[in-house]
Structure 1
Amino acid sequence: MISEQDWADTRLLWDYQQMGHEPRPCSVGIGLGSHDLGVADTTVDLYQRGMMPLIVFTGATSRTTRERMPRGEAEHYRDRALELGVPTNVILVEPNARNTGQNITLSRDLLEEHGVDVSSVLLISKPYEERRAHATARKLWPEVEFVSASTPMTLAEYVDAIQDARRVIDMLVGSLQRLLIYPAQGFMVAQDVPTDVVRAYERLASRGFTSRLAPEAPRRESA
């Protein structure tokens, strides 16, 4: 049972994950692979609006995508973009990344191999991954400016699209946890996480929304 307090806490996490960036023209757009084909759709929309001349789709498979995207997330994103009219010659595919850090570093290496001069990146992710992706990219590719983007939608709209409310809350809890613990592990830059957001995360974790927590890190309980 998901309570009203659970939903209030989830909205705090959802709102915090949004970077609030206004899309603007960048050297390249990088679409981060996941279970959500909406990332590919939004990448295509931004390309068609003239926000970047080149697209990189990055991602292998994971336990949540291996059945739905057996050839890899990046390949399926590419197929979607081609269906929507993007020319094949403006898409690069990075098929090996299995986490956000690899999404960034392997995309960077691929662009270097192709001789692409990159000063700015439009980083396209799931809505609840904007802040995590941005913090990771700033750590691993600090000389480049990153602009975050995702499909414009509310939490209710996203839950309706996924059709699994508990899964969405679990993912938000897991994403917030990584913002708290990964800076000390060198995976991303530190974020200023407001106290009310931390407490919301702790309440949700204590309520059992824990399937996406990093197993190596202890969960903090609320007082």
Structure 2
Amino acid sequence: MTDARIAVTDAQRADAEIIWDYHQMRHRLRPCSAAIGLGSHDLGVAGFAAELYRAGLFPVLVFSGANSPTTAERFPRGEAVHYAEHAVALGVPRSAIIVEPCAKNTGDNITMSRQALQQAGVETSSVLLISKPYMERRAYATCRKFWPQVEPVCASEPLSFDDYLKSIGDERLVIDMLVGDLQRIIEYPGLGFAIAQDLPDQIAAAYDRLVDAGFDSRLLKR
């Protein structure tokens, strides 16, 4: 397990940064039929979703997410509810928001948001997936698996790795999360939860080094 008292080395930070870069899809933003804000601990998702709505990139926005052990205290009424309240405070009309409060994982985020959009009568040929910066690739792979009929466009708050570290305030925790998401990208295709994606050798090597160094608190339990 990781120990917050142990400083992150320059080499470990460099390994984390190349994994951070891999997680981001760098899609060109364009107008989509709808958007999905994927629930998490990061309220920046809701803030950036509001910014993209105001830019006219989509007419309807689904916020999807219940709670997890890491968000229950921060968002006691559920991730989607708090996201929606934050977006409304930033100027998004409540009528443009659909709250999906039950999703407990990324597969749920996609399938339940799809159902919510269908129930609202929204014809969807493309969807803007708004997530934490290091979740873009996993969101893309999950959407391609569970909703292959739509074209996903991935977006996240445009922060550098260093700026994101500062915003969270815990380097080891962020690196644990980067490593955990990468493990899911590697293993979820075999479990039927996502499409497979190429994993460059340098990314795999960085992952192995960080796991060996104890950045493992967000790994799947075996």
> Whole-Å Cα distance in 2 between the matches of residues 105 and 118 of structure 1?
13
- Which residue among 141, 157, 172 is the counterpart of 1:135? 141
Which residue in 1 is equivalent to 2:85?
Answer: 79
**Are 1:89 and 2:95 an aligned pair?**
yes
Which residue in 1 is equivalent to 2:71?
Answer: 65
Which residue in 2 is equivalent to 1:163?
Answer: 169
- Which residue among 6, 9, 19 is the counterpart of 1:3? 9
Instruction: Name the aligned partner's letter for residue 57 of structure 1.
Output: F
Aligned residues: 216
> Whole-Å Cα distance in 2 between the matches of residues 146 and 6 of structure 1?
32
> Whole-Å Cα distance in 1 between the matches of residues 14 and 170 of structure 2?
17
Which residue in 2 is equivalent to 1:221?
Answer: none
Which residue in 2 is equivalent to 1:12?
Answer: 18
**Are 1:42 and 2:62 an aligned pair?**
no
Shift, 1:88, TM fit: 0.8
Q: What is the TM-score normalised by the length of structure 2?
A: 0.96
Gapped regions of structure 1 (runs ≥ 5): 217-223
- Which residue among 104, 108, 130 is the counterpart of 1:102? 108
Consecutive aligned runs of 4 or more in structure 1 exceeding 3 Å deviation: none
State, as a whole percentage, how many aligned pairs show the same letter. Answer: 56
Which residue in 1 is equivalent to 2:62?
Answer: 56
Shift, 1:113, TM fit: 1.1
Which residue in 1 is equivalent to 2:151?
Answer: 145
Shift, 1:146, TM fit: 0.2
Gapped regions of structure 2 (runs ≥ 5): 1-6
Shift, 1:196, TM fit: 0.3
